[in-house]
Amino acid sequence: MYKKILVPVDGSETSTRGLSEAISVAQGDGGKLCLVHVVNELVLDYSYGAGPGGSSLVDSLREIGNAILRQAEETVRKVGVPVESVLLECVGGPAADSIVAQAKEWHADLIVMGTHGRRGLRRFAMGSDAEAVVRESPVPVLLVRQPAAKSDSRKAALA
């Protein structure tokens, strides 16, 4: 059913959980994975030039992104699922835009991604790429949540 599965990876535990779920789906359906990592240069302001160390910072972000992709690819190859990867770069836009654009370009059947499941002010302050992907995606999106911490589950039980 899902032959082409796009998986954003960022090296986090949540992202790794999403990758594991995507592998399971691909194995069950004979699918192929496309791993994407977004280097978001939003934090850098080039309006006055790169500045001292600016270009080396971007190079470092690319190196880290490529290392994350290599590690994720290795995980997928070990279980025999076909995989490719893409390092995406964006300046000034949310990572979600790049993820959705790649899903369209690659003709993905499904996007699988981890989500932190933030709520309230934490979500407002940090944003939600997962929510934006769900809103804009032309294909189904499977979100894999990080398990709640024990203190969070106790708070939920008391509420």
How many domains does one find in the chain? 1
Q: What is the pLDDT of residue 146?
A: 74
Q: How many CB atoms within 10 Å of residue 88?
A: 17
Residue 123 lies in domain: 4-158
pLDDT score, position 148: 63
Strand-pairing partners, residue 8, are 36
Rounded to whole angstroms, the Cα distance separating 6 from 19 reads 10
2: nearest Cα among 123, 139, 134, 119 = 139
**Which stretches of the chain score pLDDT less than 50?**
47-51, 53-54, 120-126, 153-159
pLDDT at site 57: 84
Over residues 80-120, the pLDDT tens digits come to 999 999 999 988 788 999 999 999 999 999 999 998 765 54
What is the reported pTM? Answer: 0.81
Look up the CATH number of the domain holding residue 40. 3.40.50.620
Interhelix angle 129-136/95-106, nearest 10 degrees: 40
- By CB atoms closer than 10 A (0-12, 13-18, 19+), residue 59 is exposed
